[in-house]
Amino acid sequence: MPEPPNDFSIFDGRSVLVTGGTGSFGRSFVRTLLERSDVARLIVFSRDELKQHEMQAALGTVERLRYFLGDVRDRERLYRAFVGVDVVVHAAALKQIPAAEYNPFEFVKTNILGAQNIIDAAIDRGVERVVALSTDKASSPINLYGATKLVSDKLFVSGNAYAGSAATRFAVVRYGNVVGSRGSVVPHLRGLAPGETFRLTDPRMTRFWITLDQAVGFVARAASCMRGGEIFVPKLPSMKLTDLVDALAPEARVETIGVRPGEKLHEEMISVDEARRTFDLGEHYVIRPEIDWDGRDDLAGVAVAEGFAYASDTNPEWLGRDELLALLEG
């Protein structure tokens, strides 16, 4: 996916809050907004005081930057945090697939009930725009994490109808694995010594890949052009996990252990059923809401072909070793 143009002017003069602001995406997004926009106030909302302290130490004293301790499960805390906020980027979530299979109620509380809390607080506090981050696991989910994110996506899309005559609008951004993010396989592979063992689930496995900078730019683009109810999907390259290992740890010993609970061989960002509402806008796709709640008929884009699906194994764009290394160096 090419680097997007500067869409960060949408944040100029506005008050912006980022849930999960101390995570990999949140830190990158906050840093980029401070560098590339004239944001009036930028609020990091997260539940970990240590990570907030470390982030504050790394960024230094920035007059426009605020830190707000809280959890998206806490509706009242969100109501307090959203006072005077114009734009919310919702990046807070529980994400680890194996953990979700053994702790389903915790994932429901954060990913589903937390989404409902965000929607209620945004509408009642007069937030203009909310962009919620999703995942390729939400398309045709087979694991608990993906199922909670699918429900979250549907809540945010329907939140536009729930808002009624209020000005608040909601949209979703759905993308694949983030290269080098916290918990990613990439840092683990790069840290392996020659001859050390890497446990590969299945040699056939493929994944979509996006860099943090690309993710940040795409979220800014979605915030800039959203009208409410869209799911924005970037066009990303795929890569086989075996090629990833060959590129980053060529001297590692590979041990195949089988697919873990809740994992797919290949990921999907647009299902065949969603394709009926999907439009190609060149560098990205837009899935329009199933219920045409505002009678829109003037949106750009070309409808995708009948039977279209956007999956990591049938993706026409692939990452090779050199392209991956160039992404990491960039």
Residues 6+ apart with CB under 8 A from 248: 186, 189, 190, 324
Q: How far apart are CA 264 and CA 221, in angstroms?
A: 29
- What is the secondary structure of 234-287 as a DSSP string? E---EEEHHHHHHHH-TTSEEEE--PPTT--SS-EEE-HHHHTTEEE-SSEEEE
Which residues are the active-site residues? 137
Q: How far apart are CA 172 and CA 75, in angstroms?
A: 21
- Give the HSE-up count for residue 61: Cα atoms under 13 Å, Cβ half-sphere: 0
Nearest to 60 by CA among 29, 30, 86, 38: 30
DSSP secondary-structure letter at 95? -
CA distances from 127 to 93, 111, 170, 176 (A): 20, 20, 10, 27
- What is the secondary structure of 102-144 as a DSSP string? H-HHHHIIIIIIHHHHHHHHHHHTT-SEEEEE--GGGSS--SH
CA distances from 169 to 157, 209, 283 (A): 9, 28, 23
